[in-house]
Amino acid sequence: MKQEVAAAAAFLVLTAMRAFAALRERPVHAEFWLATTLLFLSLATVVGTIILPTISVTTGARWYAGLAFAFTLTMVLAARGRLKDASHGDGVLVALGALVPTKLATPALWVWLLWLSTVAGAGLSIAAVGRIVDWNFLVATLGVMIVWLLALVSGLSFVVLLGAGEIAPPLPTRAAFAGCLVVLGLYQAVVPAPSHAGTATPVDAWALADPSFRTLREVLRPPAPADADFYPFLQQHTNLGPETPVAAFDVRHATLTGVPATTRPHVFLFVIDSLRRDYVSAYNPSNTFTPALKAFAAENIVFDRAFTRYGATGLSVPSIWVGGMVPHKQYPTPFGPFNALYALLMDQQYTPWLSWDNVVDVIVPREGTGPRLSANRAVKDFRFCEMVGDIRDRLGELTPGGPPVFTWGLAQDVHISAMTREGGGVVDDQPYPGFHPPYASRVRRLDGCFGAFVDDLKARGLYDHSIIIFTADHGDSLGEEGRWGHAYTLFPEILQVPLIVHLPRAMRERFETDTTAPAFTADVTPTLYALLGHKTTPPSPAFGQPLFWPKGEARQPRASDGVLVASSYGSVYGWLNDNGRQLYVSDGVSLRDYRYELDGSPTGRALPVTPDDRREGQNAIREAIGEVASFYRYAATGPK
């Protein structure tokens, strides 16, 4: 069906263009300039409405960039087509001649078969890349459009070559034109526009599985924005530019006095970039490849419903160090005053051992930090086993009564780009039925190194004098309903993360927790404040709260029954409420809303979005974004 619809649309456009050109004094020249103009407008539209918004460039400047890029590329293609100067004198093919090889000027069958195989191979290669890494279907969409264009130009060239422009059509042009109108009309009447409820209909499910149909549907039946004012509001508060300054001021979860706590355990905070919750056995009984984490979880504290506040590293890592939401800006400078965790570490005289990734390098002051972990590695090559190897080599430096250490490690083992650079295959010879093998094999590898680290702490007598936190900055999409990656989306498999905590025995006897309540990676910093003896007060409702509190005391409730979550790079925001069981997402990139029931599965259950849902969800998101802006004292008034 989709091939017929696409062909009908192309035929209508080309026929109308050639009919108009035939009225001109020089039809071939008119065709050339019309085709060139159409290519220019198409490229500008693709850049301005698909590419740049997908990577969250939503300012008016995107149209200038789109027009400039389209003009440059169109002129290059048109000039190359003119140089080739197809002898058949077809104005459309002269304009687009650069898109087919010169060798296609011969009717040799092998040349055409080789070229068609090349085009098909390009399509398959793009589809394969899209299954490994994609940004809100950007790679797949562009791949579909490229293959469509190459196939169209190749077909036109082949027909004109064989017939020298004199092939008698099987149907009169008027009949063919009318038939194409009927095909397009039927499509518009039968195929519904994209819904606002994930895969709520079979057509939506088909669109997720078939990138060609999805692209065609988006072009012919684009989703109508549910709220014309709301999505610009999201875009306005996303990726704040220099026109929206954010002044630095101290952010603290409690008053810091400089007096060290009586008991200061070592703190080992391990954050695995892109680690999904269902790839950890404590959250998925069918997982048999993380025995060390299973043993660790069995004797420690597993938070059943743990989430990140941001769906990618760029803002998720700062939210951990700050202990709450941060301005959607990468990054306010200086960032140090906002860093509540670093302030606590300095106040309590900890020695930080950190892996200096790109984000930590900006948000953590260098004063008072010890030697780097993975110092001889580029960030993209940070691996968990090497990080804990560095830590284990230094454990002998720790002495009873000496200053405690705080370690931060952001390992890249299962980040989709790291797996791609390593060839995208498994790193062992084990089967992983029901899992994504390249990803699962790397989780198995880091699990073994984590187990060795815990055993080493126990052997050295340090285990009961340490806090160990194992978590992730966010999860990842691994092909669920055609989704890959995490940069510009906010689906359940991205928000749900593992969170397992070990406390020294004496500390565990003094504190209690509720592992069934929602927990967030942004709660780590207020938790450390509380465990080190501070009475915490959230700086604003946008901040986290301690996951542990002294026994006999009432737990401090969260400021509201829901929390704001967001993409780190795109104008995609969510409202997580009903004790972490309901997720409402407003996507300011694709201009649609979603709703999910978080039922314990990796992807949750997609639900229809009613007008009441939309009103309540968008109002909650708007108010929460306003709370963040109010706390950080900025007004997002820049152009959008």
Q: Where in the chain is the domain with CATH 3.40.720.10?
A: 266-356+363-394+402-632
Q: Would you say residue 217 has pLDDT above 70?
A: no
Query: Which residues 6+ apart lie within 8 Å of 284 measured at CB?
Result: 277, 278
| Dihedral over alpha carbons 198, 202, 203, 204 (to 10 degrees) | 10
**Rounded distance, CA 632 to CA 624, Å?**
13
Q: Which residue has the tokens 């570490």?
A: 345
Instruction: Give me 84's structure tokens.
Output: 């080739």
In this predicted model, which residue has the larger pLDDT, 183 or 515? 515
Least confident of 247-251, 350-354, 416-420, 532-536: 416-420
| pLDDT exceeds 70 at position 639 | no
286-330 pLDDT per residue, tens: 999 999 999 999 999 999 999 999 999 999 999 999 999 999 998
Residue 467 class from Cβ within 10 Å (0-12 exposed, 13-18 middle, 19+ buried)?
A: buried
The 3-state DSSP composition of the chain as helix, strand, coil percent (nearest 5) reads 50, 10, 40
Q: What is the DSSP string of 270-298?
A: EEETT--GGGSTTT-TT--S-HHHHHHHH
Measuring CA to CA, how many Å separate 537 from each of 309, 340, 541, 608, 635?
19, 12, 10, 38, 25
Higher pLDDT, 399 or 364: 364
Mean pLDDT of 45-52: 72
Q: Range with the lowest mean pLDDT among 122-136, 228-242, 338-352, 566-580?
A: 122-136
Residue 403's identity, in one-letter code, is P
Distance in angstroms (rounded) separating the CA atoms of residues 174 and 168 = 14
The model's pLDDT over 106-149, given as tens digits with 9 standing for 90+, comes to: 666 677 677 778 777 777 776 666 655 555 566 777 777 777 77
Q: What is the pLDDT of residue 588?
A: 85
pLDDT digits (tens, 9 = 90+) for 408-441: 999 999 998 888 888 889 999 999 999 999 999 9
What is the mean pLDDT of the segment spanning 495-523?
A: 96
Side-chain half-sphere CA neighbours of 134 within 13 A: 23
Nearest Cα neighbor of 323 from 536, 524, 575, 533 is 524
N-term to C-term CA, the chain: 38
Q: Give 362-409 as a DSSP string.
A: HHS-STT--SPBTTTS-GGG--HHHHHHHHHHHGGG--TTSPPEEEEE
Over residues 185-194, mean pLDDT: 69
- Which DSSP symbol is given to 50? I
Residue 71 has pLDDT above 80, yes or no: yes
Average pLDDT over residues 461-477: 96
As a whole number of angstroms, the distance between CA 552 and CA 245 comes to 44
Number of helical (H) and strand (E) elements in the chain, helices listed first: 22, 17
CATH of the structural domain 266-356+363-394+402-632, one choice from 3.40.50.620, 3.90.1150.10, 3.40.720.10, 3.40.47.10: 3.40.720.10
Provide the mean pLDDT of the chain: 84
Convert the pLDDT of each residue in 75-107 to its tens digit.
877 777 766 654 456 777 777 777 777 666 666
- Greatest mean pLDDT among 39-53, 90-104, 172-186, 295-309 lies in 295-309
**343 has pLDDT over 80:** yes
Higher pLDDT among residues 59 and 347, named by residue? 347
- How many CB atoms lie under 10 A from the CB of residue 36? 22
Which residues neighbour 473 within 8 Å (Cβ) at sequence distance 6 or greater? 271, 272, 273, 274, 308, 310, 312, 313, 316, 317, 320, 410, 497, 521
